[in-house]
Amino acid sequence: MCAFSVLAGFQNIACPTRKSFSDRAVGSLAGGSDCAGATEPENYNDHVARGWESKSVEAQQAEAAEKSSQPRPRMSTHEAAVFRESENLRLARQQVLQQLQTSRNPRHRKLMEDALADLDEKLGRLAK
């Protein structure tokens, strides 16, 4: 592929010096280029840093192995229900805080502040 085609975004735009397929095949076998004066890169991946993908995968595998080697104690039905409820309240509180930060209407802000106080009260009762 010629440099003009690369710059044109691989669209079917006519290259000013485009050759026929047979000329391109002969030119590429002879080490030539599709366009006059254009040079094709030998490998499109020459300037990419190597190894970061494998390091990331290695770290993820090590982390997964570490997590699986430390089994958590099983929760009772009641403990699981309390945990789910506390997570639901925590996430609802986070959502109310986000809405409170972006709210400009005083009535909506008051509603969000009341909801936040209610969620804090429920979280406090659940923690006891």
CA 97 to chain centre: 25
Can you give the pTM of this predicted structure?
A: 0.46
pLDDT by 10s per residue, the chain, length 128: 555 555 545 544 555 555 554 455 444 455 544 455 555 556 665 665 555 556 677 888 888 877 766 677 888 999 999 999 999 999 999 999 999 999 999 999 999 999 999 999 999 998 87
